[in-house]
Amino acid sequence: MKTTRKSKNLKHGFLKLLINSLVILLLFVIALLTYRDSLLDILKGITEVSPLNITVSVLLSVLFFIMEGSIIYKMASGIVPTYRLKYGIATAYRCEFYRLITFGSGTGIAEIHYLHKKGIEPAVGTGISILQFVMKKIGVAILGIIGFILLYCFPDTRALCREYAVFLAICCIITTVIVLFLLLVTLSNNVLTFVLGIIDKVSVKFPSFTEKAASLKNQVYLLNKSGHIFLRQRYALIQIVLFNLIKLTAIYCIPAYSLQEKCNMGFVECTAIMAAVYMLAGVIPAPSGIGSLEFVYLLFFGVLAEPGIIVPTLLVFRFVTWILPFIIGGILCLISYCKSLQT
């Protein structure tokens, strides 16, 4: 029975990996066809990216992962007092490595694994990982809404908001509903009972869903349990919210810094657009967020500047938020693996 289930999971995992790979390949082909007339301008723009631009972008990326590590540290040290900040930062980079090689599906598992290595039980680690996701969603929603308000306040970006008014409104409503639902599940036992009841009814009606339903019920329960634990640590909770806002602002500033001198928008306007872009991209289903952010980014910033300017800034953004952390995370995973062999 176990062998059959393991074989089934492997086939499912391989199929998911194959589909995600094909989606990314398709997006790459579409991008090439869309910008085939601007490829020379894009290549020229890439060569003109200054060392200062790269340096500032890398530093902002490092700040993001320091804040991400600080969030893990704050959550984990409340459970295991001996947990240190450096463990949290290392875990943040390692999770980024697993996020890319598994197209997002292995991020939570990796975090739970490395938390467990420092003495945190898998069930508690699962709760921390889910709560961390919820807190990030809250940060994205807060900054996204602030971004929308700022965009309507600036005359230069008001027309951009009007052009995509329906799209913006729908995505804003979806994000708000998701965040409110997650908050209610996290904080209210009555909502928890209601959600668990719905999952039970669905699993009875669809027997093939039974295994996934059990896993989903466990995750919902652990989210609620973790939420109540951290409610008793209000100072730590405020710090976690603040760290989330800082880390998100840091990566929003990466394209804003690159674009402020190359388009008619100032630094604040570009940062506000990026906050809106990040929130909108979050409601578009895509493997590990690949493709959704690029689509919205090019859609919005494409109104302000030519592809030869916009695409290089996007590539810089992806390099410092994906490729570089992936390399650092891979090195840290390799070091951890070598140490485990020695022991």
Query: What is the structure's pLDDT at 25?
Result: 64
Query: What is the structure's pLDDT at 9?
Result: 52
Query: What is the structure's pLDDT at 191?
Result: 86
Structure tokens, 90: 């290392």
Structure tokens, 36: 């085939």
Q: What's the whole-number mean pLDDT along residues 131-148?
A: 88
Q: What's the whole-number mean pLDDT along residues 46-69?
A: 89
The single residue listed with the structure tokens 């540290």 is: 73
H-assigned helices in 78-209? 85-101, 107-116, 122-153, 155-163, 165-187, 189-205
The DSSP secondary-structure symbol of 10 reads H
pLDDT tier, 185 (very low <50, low <70, confident <90, very high otherwise): confident
Closest Cα to residue 291, out of 20, 51, 105, 95?
20
Rounded percentage of the chain residues whose pLDDT exceeds 90:
21
Query: What is the structure's pLDDT at 73?
Result: 94
pTM here is 0.84
pLDDT tier, 244 (very low <50, low <70, confident <90, very high otherwise): very high
Does residue 88 surpass a pLDDT of 90?
Answer: yes
Instruction: Give the side-chain half-sphere CA count within 13 A for 278.
Output: 31
Query: What is the structure's pLDDT at 249?
Result: 96
Tens-digit pLDDT profile for residues 255-271 = 988 887 677 778 888 89
The burial class, CB within 10 Å (0-12 / 13-18 / 19+), for 118 is middle
Query: What is the structure's pLDDT at 59?
Result: 96
Higher pLDDT, 56 or 20: 56
Q: What's the whole-number mean pLDDT along residues 187-203?
A: 85
Q: Is there a contact between 178 and 171 (Cβ–Cβ < 8 Å)?
A: no
Query: What is the structure's pLDDT at 218?
Result: 83
Q: What's the whole-number mean pLDDT along residues 268-288?
A: 82
Does residue 246 surpass a pLDDT of 60?
Answer: yes
Q: What is the mean pLDDT of the chain?
A: 81
Tens-digit pLDDT profile for residues 118-137 = 998 888 888 888 888 888 98
Query: What is the structure's pLDDT at 2?
Result: 46
Higher pLDDT, 54 or 264: 54
C-alpha–C-alpha distance, residues 18 and 14, integer Å: 6
Query: What is the structure's pLDDT at 100?
Result: 83
Query: What is the structure's pLDDT at 15?
Result: 61
Least confident of 128-132, 208-212, 242-246, 334-338: 208-212
Query: What is the structure's pLDDT at 1?
Result: 46
Instruction: Identify residue 137 by its one-letter amino acid code.
Output: K
Query: What are the residues whose beta carbons fall under 8 Å from the beta carbon of 54, sequence distance 6 or more?
Result: 316, 320
Rounded percentage of the chain residues whose pLDDT exceeds 70:
83
